[in-house]
Amino acid sequence: IASTRSYHEKVIDHYENPRNVGTLNKNDINVGTGLVGAPACGDVMRLQIDVDPETNVIRDVKFKTFGCGSAIASSSYVTELVKGKTLDEALKIKNTAIAKELSLPPVKLHCSMLAEDAIKSAVKDYRSKRLVKQPTLGPEA
C-alpha cells in the first residue's frame, strides 16, 4: 500500500498547521469544555465547543493539546470534522475514523482515542451546564 507517504503528509500538515487552536470562554453557557488525558502517556487534550442552543449545531470549536504529534493532528482534524455538525452527529465520530484518515499506526491509536473522548466530554459538559440553568425544568414550573 502506498499509504506511508500520505500518512506523513496528513499528520505533518495537521501538526505543523493545526486548525482551530485556542480557547473559548468556559463560563459561557453555550460553551462545553472537554478535558481528557491519556493514562498510557500522560498527554492531555482540551477541546471546547460553542453550540447554537436553537439548533444544537456546533458553530465554533477550539482545542489545546499538550501531547505528541499524533494527538495534536488528531485534535486538529476532529475540530474540522465537528464544526457545523449537531451534537448527536459529533457524538458518532469514532477514533477509528480519525486514525484511518491520518493513517495512524497501531501504537498511536490511543492518540486518536483522546480526540474522540474530548468531543464526548465537551458535549457532556455543555449538556449538563444547560440542564442546570434551565429554570423551566424545575418542579415549580
Q: Which residues bind ligand FES (CB under 6 A)?
A: 38, 40-43, 67-68, 70-71, 108, 110-111, 114
Minimum gap (Å) between residue 57 Cβ and ligand FES: 29
Torsion of CA 82, 102, 26, 24, to 10 degrees: -80
Q: Which of 40, 41, 132, 137 is catalytic?
A: 41
Nearer to ligand FES, 68 or 93 (CB): 68
Is there a catalytic annotation at residue 68? Answer: no
Choice between 66 and 128, CB closer to ligand FES: 66
111: annotated active-site residue? yes
Which of 111, 114, 122, 123 is catalytic? The answer is 111
- The grid coordinates listed for 99 are 486514525
Quick one: 31 or 78, whose CB is closer to ligand FES? 78
Shortest distance (Å) from residue 115 CB to ligand FES: 9
Residues annotated as part of the active site = 41, 111
